[in-house]
Structure 1
Amino acid sequence: MFVKYVAVFAALAVFYGARSQGDLPVTQSCLGCICEAISGCNTTVTCAGDVCGPFRITWPYWADGGKPTVNQESPDSQTAFRNCVTDVYCAALTVQGYMNKYQQDCNGDGKIDCDDFATIHKLGGYGCKGVPLPEDYGARYQQCKQIVGQLQS
């Protein structure tokens, strides 16, 4: 389980190394823990119903995230959504765009951090205040956050 997270985290670190972190609200380690919590960071998963990819993204989430695409595909293409959200890099950009739009202090601690982003990712941009995370997702997120904190210490 955690090995997948580390591999995806390393790949994201290389990818984001080429981009300015200044315009990206979510850190690489936070993206990794969101991915781990939502799907076990399963990068081989395609779509199940209306959710797709390792971040389990829906079409409305992708649209709110700015409709990023892979290989300059038109966002209006019928395959753009699926191609993006099943690609870990494009899916991560979707999460960044979504968080840019909806970032807020969900837990009332006076700061916007990974805890807020994890809550927004699971509960949506308008549903994060005063609502606890679903137990399984919350437990996986907290476990990952603890492990990543130990690795960064």
Structure 2
Amino acid sequence: MEPYRTVLAVLAVLPAAAVDVTPECIGCICVATSGCNLSPGLNASGALGPFGITLPYFEDARIGDEPDFSDETHESCAGDPFCAALTIRKYMERNARDCDGDDRLTCADFARIHRYGAPDCSLTADTSGYWRRFQDCVQIYTSA
């Protein structure tokens, strides 16, 4: 879980967002996506970095609208934990919804949106192990 702690340290300095995606939640999304491997390259679906950020995800987050990130590309941002975490927060601000029908926005909703996209976030069947890894992480870090 050492990479997770590194990501948490980076996230601690992010400004608060309109949608409360906690550092612990983003850390668990990282763990579920790649084991928080800080050096994964491009995968078969075009996803990059420890969070597996695709180009459409990056573009939808509009990270380039942020003054300190206007020069970031998909490739540079997805590989930078700080920029990638901000990308997730910005994406969630634009796409947050209650995926599990409990009338609350929770980390579980954000994890589903991150994995499946907002339109399909009610899905939980996952043969890759993402959902199990996410749930295991959230059990350890209950503030997620």
Q: TM-score, normalised by structure 2?
A: 0.88
The answer for the alignment partner of 1:3 in structure 2 is 2
Q: State the percentage of identical aligned residues.
A: 37
Corresponding residue pairs, total: 140
2:110 partner SS? helix
Per-residue CA deviations over 1:96-120 (Å, capped at 9, x if unaligned) read 1110111000000110110000000
When normalised by structure 1's length, the TM-score is 0.83
Q: Which residue of 2 is the match for residue 90 of structure 1? A: 83
The answer for unaligned runs of 5 or more in structure 2 is none
Q: Given the alignment of the two structures, is residue 46 of structure 1 paired with residue 41 of structure 2, yes or no?
A: yes
Equivalences for 1:4-153 in 2 at 5 Å?
A: 4-13=3-12, 15-16=13-14, 19=15, 21-49=16-44, 50-68=46-64, 72-74=69-71, 80-129=73-122, 131-135=123-127, 136-149=129-142
Q: Describe the superposition over 1:5-40 as per-residue Cα deviations: whole angstroms up to 9, x where unpaired.
A: 122112221x22xx2x14353111000000000010
DSSP-derived class of the 1:104 partner = coil
Mark the CA change 1:60 to 1:6 in structure 2 (over 3 Å): closer, same or farther.
Answer: same
CA RMSD of aligned residues (A): 1.9
Higher Cα Rg, which structure: 1
Change (3 A) 1:55 1:70: farther
Distance, in Å, in 2 between the alignment partners of 1:64 and 1:72 is: 14
